[in-house]
Amino acid sequence: MPNFFSDNPDLQFHFNNADMREIVSLIEDDYAQAKEYNYAPVNYDDALENYRKVLEVTGDIAGNSIAPRAAGVDHDGASFANGHVTYADGTQKNIHELSQTDIMGLILPRKYGGLNFPFVYYMMSVEVLARADASLMNIYGLQDIGDTLRKFGTEDQCAEFLPRICTGQHTGAMVLTEPDAGSDLQAVKTHAYQNEAGQWFLRGMKRFITNGNAQVLLVLARSEAGTRDGRGLSLFVCGADETVVVRRIENKLGIHGSPTCELQFNDTPAQLVGTRRYGLIKYVLDLMFRARMGVSAQALGISQAAYEEALKYARERRQFGKTIYEIPMVSNMLIDMRVTLESNRSLLYSVAKLVDEKERMEDLIEKLKAAGKPSAEESARLKQLVKIANLLTPITKYTLSESANKITYDALQIHGGTGYMKEFHVEQLARDARITNIYEGTSQLQIVAASGGTLNDVLSGYFDECEARVYKGGFTKLADHLKEIRRLFVQSLKYVVEKKDVGFQEVASEDLVQMYSFVYIGYLLLAEAEIEPRKIFIANRYIVTSLANARKNAEAIRSELFGDLLHADRILQ
């Protein structure tokens, strides 16, 4: 009876050590909702007990119901016939169970049937579910569009669309991408127009729409005729009526349970969400914060599953008269995987908490404004939080999705030839992981997104504080390593800035962003090692590896490894 929440000591560590007191108090209106709902917490401890119990229930169905169906879901996949998408049999059962469990609206307000959970615990649920079946997260995780409606939609829109998302009767889709507008969403062409009565309609084609067969569609469309950039785009919500045609679904490498649809909007009646022209520049960017994190948690879940498979196999498989676990080269790979998993988890939940803080601060400011109270202090804090989140959410997505590929790759490698065969689960994990560093912004775009904050060294004050701390005896060496990584970063940053070469800077920014993330994660791990002695092993390997990588990155920049970009045409001729 595996429970994917309780059986993971590192996840337990993060659950037990997350200080969420302020966030929970804000999201629960100082626990006022307990008067109205018998399942709302009465105080902080009660809230934590709720989160734990619900994650245990989630871990139970993940381990005992969803994971056993994953191979079937992968084999059957979602199917398409006569304009209609059908989920794999296992996916249908999974959705039914998640609905029975009442978690399809985990983060949505109670008044619409949701559970009002903070973002951190939502990310934990995504990790746990993705470990069982990565493709399911692309349905479960789309409750996020409900959150966008909560924040930017009207009360009527919420009342119309959210209750059925919470019961699981309806699922959602983010309908952004088009054939000519993938990474570059500013190029969206789908046309939004109004009739004389002011009713909006949508017309156009959308492609690569995850769960595009959903009943609630959040659509990015061009509402301002004659515009060509992001400022002419608005966000719309509509139900999937007969004017929304699914033309086909894609035949993909992985996540077979999640249908990826091509959609045609034939004068579909829609409602404007929020303000015109804010579609991309405000609402989609806000959605992306959360979507990046969702994919990161998905990537972590897949990585955890791959690691478990590799560890189990290594302990069972005997060669040369012993288990391959006992072969140093293999156990070294396993340790690398484990250290990556734990350092990634630290990053994910640290940044998830940051997103929570940011969102709670937004809610608070909204409330203060509505009550006619001053909110300058909160606004200043929000500004700072947004700046850091703008840096750390893409770093999280980049790090965790790239790691998922590396971990599943190594897990398959540990299986040897067996791992290449369909009979073993690990090949599916390797295929499923591959999308995580592509969708919701490729790794390259994450670097672009993170490079602003990195080049501006937005964490420098925080790092100064970390450096000024006194670390216990055994940690001094590691703290010194982190100082050295930071020194290499600052030196490399200076070099890149002074070079004033845009192309060079763009390529070098990957090295810079990596170095910056090493310092951030390194300090997280040092802090954890002070709480839990075993974590010193994780901190040690992570920081020593990072120092070596930072030296490599610094050397690449200093010796102008990418100087030959100027000669790209000749090299590639």
Binding site for other proteins (CB under 8 A): 38-41, 49-50, 53-54, 57, 60-61, 65, 97, 100-103, 106, 115
| 101/157 with CB nearer other proteins | 101
**Cβ 38 to other proteins, closest distance in Å?**
4
What b/e readout covers 207-216, taking b as 16+ CB neighbours within 10 angstroms?
A: bbbbbbbbbb
Number of alpha carbons in the 13 Å side-chain half-sphere of residue 162:
27
SS3 290: helix
Q: How far is the CB of 144 from other proteins (least distance, A)?
A: 18
Cα separation, 378 vs 380, in Å, equals: 5
Q: In 10 A of CB 333, how many CB atoms?
A: 18
Amino acid at 125: S
Q: Which of 4, 306, 302 is nearest to 125 (CA)?
A: 4
- Comparison of 61 and 557: residue with beta carbon closer to other proteins: 61
Other Cβ atoms closer than 10 A to 40: 19
Quick one: CA torsion of 60, 61, 64, 65, rounded to 10 degrees?
Answer: 180
Distance CA 461, CA 472 (A): 22
β-pairing, 84-86 vs 191-194, is unpaired
Q: How far is the CB of 205 from other proteins (least distance, A)?
A: 39
Nearer to other proteins, 10 or 147 (CB): 147
**Burial classification of residue 53, based on how many CB atoms lie within 10 Å of its CB (0-12 exposed, 13-18 middle, 19 or more buried):** exposed
- Closest distance of CB 128 from other proteins, Å: 13
What single-letter amino acid sits at 182? G
| Cβ contact 235:273 at 8 Å | yes
Q: How far apart are CA 497 and CA 515, in angstroms?
A: 16
* Minimum separation from the CB atom of position 309 to other proteins (A): 24
CB of residue 349 to other proteins, shortest distance in Å: 21
- Quick one: 51 or 152, whose CB is closer to other proteins? 51
Closer residue to other proteins (CB): 60 or 133: 60
Give the nearest distance from C-beta 1 to other proteins in angstroms: 9
Between 59 and 259, CB nearer to other proteins: 59
Q: If DSSP states are collapsed to H, E and C, what string results for 13-67?
A: HHHHHCCCHHHHHHHCHHHHHHHCCCCCCCCHHHHHHHHHHHHHHHHHHHHHHHH
Min separation Cβ 215 and other proteins, Å: 22
CA distances from 155 to 234, 309, 530, 565 (A): 19, 46, 47, 53
Shortest spacing between CB 461 and other proteins, in angstroms: 39
Q: Of 23 and 237, which CB lies nearer to other proteins in the complex structure?
A: 23
What is the nearest approach in angstroms of other proteins to the Cβ of residue 140?
13
Q: Given the DSSP bridges, would you call strands 172-175 and 216-222 parallel, antiparallel or unpaired?
A: parallel
What pairs with residue 201 in β-bridges?
193, 269
Residue in this structure with the two tokens 């629960």, named with its chain if needed: 28
567 contact partners, CB below 8 Å, separation of at least 6: none
Residue closer to other proteins, measured from CB, 127 or 528: 127
Closer residue to other proteins in complex, CB, 168/301: 168
Chain position carrying tokens 């119990």: 53
Do 262 and 205 touch, CB atoms closer than 8 A? yes
* Cα torsion 552, 553, 556, 559: sign: negative
Phi, psi (5° rounding) for residue 265?
-100, 115
Q: Based on CB atoms, which residue is closest to other proteins, 4 or 200?
A: 4
Smaller CB distance to other proteins: residue 53 or 567?
53
Nearest of 562, 542, 538 to residue 550 by alpha carbon: 542
- In the bound complex, what is the minimum distance in angstroms from residue 291's beta carbon to other proteins? 23
Complex with other proteins: residue 103 or 547, whichever CB lies closer:
103
**Least distance in angstroms from the C-beta of 117 to other proteins:** 9
Helices first, then strands: H and E counts in the chain: 19, 11
